[in-house]
């Protein structure tokens, strides 16, 4: 099924919309695509879904949006992609999800966003990525999650952000990464986390941050790393923690800092006396 070569396409005012049982669905060559005012929208049972070559794509004002049971999803070559005003957004049961080549991607004003049960998730080649105004954002059950080659990433104004059950998480090649204004941030149950090649990484204005149950955590090749304005920061149950190749590291304005014994011993083994003295001074300044 192919939909292409349309200047403006508006789909709205529908109670229930079901798109399923299609081998390949291609949507391309549309200047503006607006999908809104739908109570329930289900996209499932499609082998391949390709959405590309669209100047502006707006998806908003939908009560429930379910995207599941699709082998491959490719979303690329879109100037602006706006997803907003959705009560519940569920993305699951997809073998491969590729999102790339988008100038601006805005996801906001969503009550619940669930992303799970995806074999491979690749997000790359995006100029600006904004995720905000979401009550609950759940990311889990993804063997491999790759986020790279993005100029600016802004994640803020989210009540709860749990990230868990992921084998490998790679975040790289991003000019600026800002994570702020989140009530609770939980990162757990991930075998390997790699954060590298980021010019500026800012984590601030978060009530509680919990990082635990991770086998290996690597942070490297970051010019500036700023962690501040956090009420409680808990780091525990990590086998190996590597922080290297960072020009500037600032950790301040944290009310409570908890680094558990088994994690701390591993850190101490990797630090020389001078580095540990600086860390002790910094920790005293925090508490």
Assess whether 144 and 8 both reside in one domain: yes
Q: How many domains does the chain have?
A: 2
Residue 156 domain-assigned?
Answer: no
Is there a single domain that holds both residue 144 and residue 6?
A: yes
Q: Are residues 44 and 139 in the same domain?
A: yes
Domain end among 95, 129, 150: 150
Residue 182 inside a domain? The answer is: no
Phi, psi of 278 (to 5 degrees): -65, -40
Percent of the chain whose predicted confidence (pLDDT) is above 70: 90
The verdict on 127 and 5 lying in the same domain is yes
Same domain? For 1 and 143 the reply is: yes
Q: Given this model, what pLDDT does residue 260 score? A: 60
Q: Indicate whether 183 belongs to any domain.
A: no
Tell me: do 6 and 145 sit in the same domain.
Answer: yes
- In this model, does residue 274 exceed pLDDT 60? no
In a domain, 166, yes or no: no
Same domain, 11 and 145: yes
Query: Looking at residues 113-136, what average pLDDT do you find?
Result: 93
Strand 152-172 with 248-259, pairing: unpaired
129 and 54 both lie in a single domain: yes
Q: Does residue 141 have a pLDDT over 50?
A: yes
**Torsions phi, psi of 260, nearest 5?**
-75, 160
> Do 140 and 204 sit in the same domain of this protein?
no
Instruction: Provide the CB-side half-sphere exposure for 44 (13 A, CA).
Output: 13
Query: Greater confidence, 282 or 249?
Result: 249
Q: In the predicted model, what is the mean pLDDT of residues 26-31?
A: 90
Task: Considering only residues 109 and 262, tell me which one the structure prediction assigns the higher pLDDT.
Answer: 109
pLDDT of residue 262: 43
* Residue 5 domain flag: yes
- Quickly list DSSP for the chain: -EEEEEEEEEEEEEEEEEEEEEEEEEEEEEEEEEEEEEEEEEEEEEEEEEEEEEEEEEEEEEEEEEEEEEEEEEEEEEEEEEEEEEEEEEEEEEEEEEEEEEEEEEEEEEEEEEEEEEEEEEEEEEEEEEEEEEEEEEEEEEEEEEEES-SEEEEEEEEEEEEEEEEEEEEES-SEEEEEEEEEEEEEEEEEEEEES-SEEEEEEEEEEEEEEEEEEEEES-SEEEEEEEEEEEEEEEEEEEEES-SEEEEEEEEEEEE-HHHHHHHHHH--HHHHHHHHHHHHHH-
Instruction: Tell me: do 74 and 214 sit in the same domain.
Output: no
Mean pLDDT value of segment 240-264:
72
Confidence of residue 259 (pLDDT cuts 50, 70, 90): low
pLDDT at 248 over 60: yes
Is 234 within a domain?
A: yes
pLDDT band at 280 (very low <50, low <70, confident <90, very high): very low
Encoded tokens for 238: 């990590």
Q: Is the pLDDT of residue 176 over 60?
A: yes
pLDDT of residue 283: 46
Q: Is 231 a member of any domain?
A: yes
Structural domain boundaries enclosing 242: 188-287
What integer pLDDT is reported at residue 72 of this predicted model? 92
Q: Is the pLDDT of residue 238 over 50?
A: yes
Query: For the segment 69-99, what is each residue's pLDDT rounded down to a tens digit?
Result: 999 999 999 999 999 999 999 999 999 999 9
For residues 109 and 245, membership in a common domain is answered with no
| Cβ–Cβ under 8 Å, residues 147 and 123 | yes
Same domain, 43 and 143: yes
Residue 163 within any structural domain of the chain: no
**Considering the chain, what is the average pLDDT of its residues?**
85
The mean pLDDT of 159-172, rounded to a whole number, is 92
Q: Is the pLDDT confidence value at 175 over 90?
A: yes
Q: What pTM did the predictor assign?
A: 0.85
């Amino acid at each position: 099924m192919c939909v292409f070569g349309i200047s403006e396409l508006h789909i709205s005012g529908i109670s229930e919309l079901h798109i399923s049982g299609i081998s390949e669905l291609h949507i391309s060559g549309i200047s503006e695509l607006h999908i809104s005012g739908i109570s329930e929208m289900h996209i499932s049972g499609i082998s391949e879904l390709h959405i590309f070559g669209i100047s502006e794509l707006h998806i908003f004002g939908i009560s429930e949006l379910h995207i599941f049971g699709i082998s491959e999803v490719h979303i690329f070559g879109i100037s602006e992609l706006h997803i907003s005003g959705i009560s519940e957004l569920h993305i699951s049961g997809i073998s491969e999800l590729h999102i790339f080549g988008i100038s601006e991607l805005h996801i906001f004003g969503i009550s619940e966003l669930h992303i799970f049960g995806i074999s491979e998730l690749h997000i790359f080649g995006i100029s600006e990525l904004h995720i905000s105004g979401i009550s609950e954002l759940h990311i889990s059950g993804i063997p491999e999650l790759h986020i790279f080659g993005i100029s600016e990433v802004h994640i803020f104004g989210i009540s709860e952000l749990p990230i868990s059950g992921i084998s490998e998480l790679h975040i790289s090649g991003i000019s600026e990464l800002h994570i702020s204004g989140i009530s609770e941030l939980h990162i757990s149950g991930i075998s390997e986390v790699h954060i590298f090649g980021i010019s500026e990484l800012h984590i601030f204005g978060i009530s509680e941050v919990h990082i635990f149950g991770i086998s290996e955590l690597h942070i490297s090749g970051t010019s500036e790393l700023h962690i501040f304005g956090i009420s409680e920061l808990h780091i525990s149950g990590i086998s190996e923690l590597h922080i290297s190749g960072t020009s500037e590291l600032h950790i301040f304005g944290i009310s409570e800092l908890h680094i558990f014994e088994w994690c701390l011993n591993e850190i101490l083994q990797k630090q020389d006396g001078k580095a540990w003295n600086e860390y002790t001074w910094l920790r005293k300044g925090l508490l």
